[in-house]
């Protein structure tokens, strides 16, 4: 009998109930006991959804008011000093301590600087970064995982609590103050984990699932040794341990991990199918193997027959010691496909969200246990039909797109002349001053703009009415830029709801859900588009808007596009072709757009690529391959134009050192980057590399409502000019201004333009 189990379920609720409740609590519209009751109701509902789907074991401990890493910090008592007032761990205060750590404030308690937040491995989920300091000790504080497990057992569920392991928690933390070897903290950490295991056993748990995704990274040797030490000490706490790895294969760590003194091992066979046979070979005879075969990172329905075939050797060798599950927590997919009513039937039949994925796991579990009942067989027949329909559908596979991709030549990724020549031609044509000023694209998305869009979506505004109201918005945005004295203007992106969705909606090969929400951080959710088929551009996407904008002014108007890698990274991608191929298709579609913009008279075109860095694979050895195709796709999208047309790109992150050669290889004429918070230190990488093209280092942080002072921005630019020749510097904010209000934007930009004028007089 193969056990089917859940490694984690979305907590946000199929109608984002958790978001609504926590936000109401933050606003003061819901009291703590009502929020607690809503959490309890959601947990119970989610366990029932897993059980109804046929899962043998449901997950507990995966619930979080904000984030699961933050839950662990509270479990361990790792609460930074600034959130402590002597009562911060009292039962009544713990929830607000948690929210203060996450957001800097809560209905009660003193506000303090929130903890940092960063991306969870290569996902779009963000966790709250634990803060570590020398000599830190831990004590069991929040008992939520134990209480919630007891809650599930009381309600009659067959559970399996899920913890994030001590190594992963420690690895992902950040040292504050004096530096030290963080492995020194392990002893105290293991004591608390040991206690938690004992308490879980008392609450009635027999198996505990411990996630150690760090084991798929390039882990230094001392950490692998520490891993043996940790799990030696965590055995014999009255529960069996299922050690879980995901997001990749174990590679060199296989032997160590397979031999750890734990009763079970979970592996990700979606990302790393090749590891199955190695592990089967080396797995000690007493051990249970949990195979993660249903993709927890994507929304496709699985090919059950193919998986059953793949698992044959495992079934023969392991019998009852084989468990099945999704590759990783289902946190990364939307909750329930059955809520979707607008999706067309064919596409819908290809998809599977968290509930459906639980059903797939359960069916596999039954089939592996030898069940050949009608209901199980029907499931397989259905899955076979879906696999066949996706393989043969003309909506997925398009000869014309396939041909365009195979016709890509290296020459198409090359501008006509080297940068030096383009530079002087563009100089002459655009006639820009020293230190040209520009912005990154968006201007405030006012409530009026959002209201118009929502009316339009509800069909309460005609096409023409919507068009006119957006045109008015664009006109006024241009007027404001003219009076501010900016050099290169933008239209402001008023007509765009989101920089990826806007393009996806106009491209063939994309589908959109109504309720396909996925948690991004805290109460914030995103609804990624789905790339289901070959991509093409049926018609120009931005040309009318840009032409209209250019007609309103004598200044240079910058056309604004989202780059192929960013569209890819922020969508659910196909699992039947390599991501590289979808990216090439996107690049070809954008290339057509770029050429059309040029032909319509747009002389400067920006192709945003804020996501290139986050697409990096988890292991360094895989970086060059990814970066090669990512850079090539950007170049493919940008290189169809004449030398005189100036291509900009924009990125907003803080690490360029290790990828600077690839950034340079993108060969954008101008790159604008986020730098203000790093005091221009980010430019060091560009300086050392002798980066040849133009750079616009952001001079103020758009995340803050504070208006930047002139002296501050000027000093930043003087620093920049010590690293990069002044003739190659632009002046611009760090990123787009869509989240800001007009008054602060006008004041900030007016200061910025003034700084440019002063600098021109001095250089």
The Cα–Cα gap between 289 and 317 comes to 11
- Is 490 a binding residue for Zn ion by CB under 5 A? The answer is no
Please give the structure tokens belonging to residue 288: 């249970």
Cβ-closest residue to ligand GLN?
A: 736
The Cα–Cα gap between 465 and 93 comes to 51
- 124 is an annotated ligand-binding site residue: yes
Q: What angle do CA 160, 166, 172 make, to 5 degrees?
A: 115
Which segment (197-205, 434-442, 458-466, 747-755) binds ligand GLN by CB under 6 A? 434-442
- Partnered with residue 268 across adjacent β-strands are 292
Binds ligand GLN (CB under 6 A): choice among 130, 213, 564, 610: 610
- 674 is an annotated ligand-binding site residue: yes
CB of 736 to Zn ion, least distance (A): 6
- What are the strands of the beta sheet with 3-4, ordered from one edge? 3-4, 322-326, 288-294, 264-268, 240-244, 207-211, 159-164, 58-60
- 207 is an annotated ligand-binding site residue: no
- 236 is an annotated ligand-binding site residue: no
- Is 75 a binding residue for ligand GLN by CB under 6 A? The answer is no
640 binds, among Zn ion, ligand GLN, none (CB under 5 to 8 A by kind): none
- Is 638 a binding residue for ligand GLN by CB under 6 A? The answer is no
Which segment (160-168, 203-211, 358-366, 649-657) binds Zn ion by CB under 5 A? 649-657
CB of 68 to Zn ion, least distance (A): 28
CB of 650 to Zn ion, least distance (A): 6
Which segment (38-46, 359-367, 424-432, 645-653) binds Zn ion by CB under 5 A? 645-653
Which segment (65-73, 373-381, 541-549, 603-611) binds Zn ion by CB under 5 A? 603-611
- 442 is an annotated ligand-binding site residue: yes
Q: Which of 424, 412, 441 is nearest to 694 (CA)?
A: 424
499 binds, among ligand GLN, Zn ion, none (CB under 5 to 8 A by kind): ligand GLN
Give Cα 562 distance to the centre of its chain: 16
User: Which residues make Cβ contacts (< 8 Å) with residue 393, sequence separation at least 6?
Assistant: 346, 533
- Is 698 a binding residue for ligand GLN by CB under 6 A? The answer is no
CB of 716 to ligand GLN, least distance (A): 19
Nearer to ligand GLN, 507 or 560 (CB): 560
The Cα–Cα gap between 45 and 122 comes to 29
- 524 is an annotated ligand-binding site residue: yes
Q: Which of 701, 661, 665, 667 is nearest to 685 (CA)?
A: 661
Helix axis angle for 17-27 and 32-52, nearest 10°, is 170
- 440 is an annotated ligand-binding site residue: yes
511-526 burial, b for 16+ CB within 10 Å, e for fewer? bebebbbbbbbbbebb
Q: How many of the chain's residues bind Zn ion (CB under 5 A)?
A: 3
Q: What is the CA radius of gyration of the chain?
A: 27
Q: Which of 734, 741, 689 is nearest to 716 (CA)?
A: 734
Which segment (45-53, 191-199, 438-446, 635-643) binds ligand GLN by CB under 6 A? 438-446
560 binds, among Zn ion, ligand GLN, none (CB under 5 to 8 A by kind): ligand GLN
Binds ligand GLN (CB under 6 A): choice among 359, 608, 669, 734: 608
The Cα–Cα gap between 362 and 284 comes to 26
The Cα–Cα gap between 3 and 18 comes to 30
Nearer to ligand GLN, 213 or 736 (CB): 736
Nearer to ligand GLN, 314 or 652 (CB): 652
CB of 654 to Zn ion, least distance (A): 12
Q: Is 46 among the residues known to form the active site?
A: no
- Is 491 a binding residue for ligand GLN by CB under 6 A? The answer is no
Q: Which of 411, 431, 409, 412 is nearest to 646 (CA)?
A: 431
Looking at residue 331, the DSSP 8-state letter turns out to be G
- 570 is an annotated ligand-binding site residue: yes
- Is 76 a binding residue for ligand GLN by CB under 6 A? The answer is no
CB of 558 to ligand GLN, least distance (A): 10
- 614 is an annotated ligand-binding site residue: yes
- Partnered with residue 557 across adjacent β-strands are 489
**Cβ 486 vs Cβ 439: under 8 Å:** yes
Name the pairing type of β-strands 518-521 and 524-526.
antiparallel
Looking at residue 418, the DSSP 8-state letter turns out to be -
- Is 296 a binding residue for ligand GLN by CB under 6 A? The answer is no
The Cα–Cα gap between 194 and 370 comes to 37
- Is 560 a binding residue for ligand GLN by CB under 6 A? The answer is yes
Task: Enumerate residues 499-528 that contact ligand GLN by CB under 6 A.
Answer: 499
Binds Zn ion (CB under 5 A): choice among 413, 735, 748, 749: 735
Please give the structure tokens belonging to residue 434: 């020293």
- Is 650 a binding residue for ligand GLN by CB under 6 A? The answer is yes
- Is 607 a binding residue for Zn ion by CB under 5 A? The answer is no
Strands (E), 619-723: 646-651, 670-673, 694-697
199 binds, among ligand GLN, Zn ion, none (CB under 5 to 8 A by kind): none
CB of 739 to ligand GLN, least distance (A): 9
Nearer to ligand GLN, 653 or 712 (CB): 653
> How much helix, strand and coil, in percent to the nearest 5, is found in the chain?
50, 15, 40
Burial (CB < 10 A; 0-12, 13-18, 19+), residue 26, is middle
Task: Report how many helices (DSSP H) and strands (DSSP E) the chain contains, helices first.
Answer: 28, 22
Task: Return the HEC string of 80-98.
Answer: CHHHCCCCCCCCCCHHHHH
Task: Enumerate residues 62-101 that contact Zn ion by CB under 5 A.
Answer: none
**Cβ 510 vs Cβ 500: under 8 Å:** no
Name the pairing type of β-strands 508-511 and 530-536.
antiparallel
Which segment (62-70, 126-134, 236-244, 728-736) binds Zn ion by CB under 5 A? 728-736
**How far separated are the first and last CA of the chain, in Å rounded?**
77
- Is 652 a binding residue for Zn ion by CB under 5 A? The answer is yes
CB of 496 to ligand GLN, least distance (A): 8
Catalytic entry in 15, 72, 332, 703: 703
- Is 738 a binding residue for ligand GLN by CB under 6 A? The answer is yes
The Cα–Cα gap between 239 and 262 comes to 10
Looking at residue 392, the DSSP 8-state letter turns out to be H
CB of 498 to ligand GLN, least distance (A): 10
Please give the structure tokens belonging to residue 171: 């690895």
Coil, strand or helix: which one is 468?
helix
442 binds, among Zn ion, ligand GLN, none (CB under 5 to 8 A by kind): ligand GLN
- 90 is an annotated ligand-binding site residue: no
CB of 736 to ligand GLN, least distance (A): 2
CB of 420 to Zn ion, least distance (A): 28
The Cα–Cα gap between 592 and 648 comes to 17
Which segment (29-37, 435-443, 504-512, 688-696) binds ligand GLN by CB under 6 A? 435-443
DSSP 462-484: -HHHHHHHHHHHHHHHHHHHHHH
Binds ligand GLN (CB under 6 A): choice among 2, 164, 299, 652: 652
Nearer to ligand GLN, 390 or 740 (CB): 740
- By the criterion CB under 6 A, which residues form the site for ligand GLN? 440-442, 493, 499, 560, 608, 610, 650, 652, 735-736, 738
Known catalytic residues are 703
User: Binding site for 5-methyltetrahydropteroyltri-L-glutamate, residues?
Assistant: 16-19, 119, 124, 524-525, 570, 614
User: Binding site for Zn(2+), residues?
Assistant: 650, 652, 674, 735
- By the criterion CB under 5 A, which residues form the site for Zn ion? 610, 652, 735
User: Binding site for L-homocysteine, residues?
Assistant: 440-442, 493, 608
């Amino acid at each position: 009998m193969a056990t089917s189990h859940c490694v984690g379920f979305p907590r946000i609720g199929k109608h984002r109930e958790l978001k609504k409740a926590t936000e109401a609590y933050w606003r003061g519209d819901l009291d703590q006991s009502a929020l607690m009751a809503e959490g309890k109701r959601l947990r119970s509902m989610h366990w029932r959804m897993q059980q109804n789907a046929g899962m043998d074991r449901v997950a507990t401990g995966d619930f979080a008011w904000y984030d699961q890493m933050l839950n662990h910090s509270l479990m361990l008592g790792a609460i930074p000093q600034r959130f402590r007032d002597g009562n911060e761990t009292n039962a009544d205060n713990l929830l607000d301590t948690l929210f203060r750590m996450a957001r800097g404030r809560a209905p009660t308690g003193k506000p303090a600087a929130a903890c940092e937040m960063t991306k969870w491995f290569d996902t779009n989920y963000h966790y709250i970064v634990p803060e570590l300091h020398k000599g830190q000790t831990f004590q069991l504080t929040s008992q939520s995982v134990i209480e919630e497990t007891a809650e599930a057992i009381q309600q009659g569920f067959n559970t399996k609590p899920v913890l994030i392991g001590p190594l992963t928690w420690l690895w992902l933390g950040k040292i504050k103050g004096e530096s030290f070897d963080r492995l020194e903290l392990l002893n105290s950490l293991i004591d608390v984990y040991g206690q938690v295991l004992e308490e879980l056993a008392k609450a009635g748990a027999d198996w505990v699932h411990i996630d150690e995704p760090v084991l798929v990274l390039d882990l230094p040797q001392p950490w692998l040794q520490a891993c043996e030490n940790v799990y030696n000490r965590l055995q014999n706490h009255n529960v069996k341990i299922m050690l879980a790895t995901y997001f990749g294969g174990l590679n060199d760590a296989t032997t160590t991990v397979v031999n750890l003194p734990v009763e079970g091992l979970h592996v990700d066979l979606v990302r790393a199918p090749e590891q199955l046979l190695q592990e089967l070979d080396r797995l000690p005879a007493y051990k249970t193997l949990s195979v993660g075969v249903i993709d927890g990172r994507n929304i496709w329905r699985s090919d059950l027959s193919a998986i059953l075939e793949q698992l044959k050797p495992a079934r023969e060798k392991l019998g009852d010691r084989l468990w099945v599950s999704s590759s990783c927590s289902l946190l990364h997919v939307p909750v329930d496909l059955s809520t979707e009513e607008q999706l067309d039937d064919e596409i819908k039949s290809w998809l599977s969200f968290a509930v459906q994925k639980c059903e797939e796991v359960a069916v596999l579990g039954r089939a592996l246990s030898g069940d050949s009942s009608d209901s199980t067989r029907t499931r397989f027949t259905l899955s076979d039909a879906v696999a066949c329909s996706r393989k043969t559908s003309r909506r997925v596979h398009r000869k014309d797109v396939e041909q365009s991709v195979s016709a890509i030549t290296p020459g198409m990724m090359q501008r006509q002349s080297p940068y030096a020549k383009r530079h002087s031609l563009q100089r002459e044509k655009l006639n820009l001053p020293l230190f040209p000023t520009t912005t990154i694209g968006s201007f405030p998305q006012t409530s009026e703009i959002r209201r118009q869009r929502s009316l339009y979506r509800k069909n309460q505004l005609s096409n023409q009415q919507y068009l006119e109201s957006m045109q008015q918005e664009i006109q006024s945005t241009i007027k404001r830029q003219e009076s501010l004295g900016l050099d290169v203007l933008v239209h402001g992106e008023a007509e765009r709801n989101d920089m990826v969705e806007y393009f996806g909606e106009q491209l063939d090969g994309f589908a959109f859900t109504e309720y396909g929400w996925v948690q991004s951080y805290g109460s914030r959710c995103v609804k990624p588009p789905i790339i289901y088929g070959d991509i093409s551009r049926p018609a120009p996407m931005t040309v009318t808007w840009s032409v209209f904008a250019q007609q309103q002014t004598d200044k240079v108007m910058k056309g604004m596009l989202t780059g192929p890698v960013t569209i890819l990274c922020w969508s659910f991608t196909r699992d039947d072709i390599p991501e590289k191929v979808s990216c090439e298709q996107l690049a070809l579609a954008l290339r057509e757009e770029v050429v059309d913009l040029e032909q319509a008279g747009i002389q400067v075109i920006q192709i945003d690529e804020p996501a290139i860095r986050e697409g990096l694979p988890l292991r360094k050895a895989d970086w060059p391959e990814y970066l090669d195709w990512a850079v090539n796709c950007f170049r493919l999208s940008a290189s169809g134009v004449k030398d005189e047309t100036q291509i900009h790109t924009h990125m907003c992150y803080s690490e360029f050192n290790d990828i600077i050669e690839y950034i340079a290889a993108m060969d954008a004429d101008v790159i604008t980057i986020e730098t203000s918070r790093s005091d221009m230190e980010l430019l060091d990488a560009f300086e050392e590399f002798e980066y040849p093209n133009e750079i616009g280092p952001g001079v103020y942080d758009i995340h803050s409502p504070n208006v930047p002072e002139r002296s501050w921005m000027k000093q930043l630019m003087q620093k920049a000019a010590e690293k990069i020749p002044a003739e190659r510097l632009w002046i611009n904010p760090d990123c787009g201004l869509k989240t800001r209000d007009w008054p602060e934007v006008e004041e900030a930009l007016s200061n910025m333009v003034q700084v440019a004028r002063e600098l021109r007089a001095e250089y």
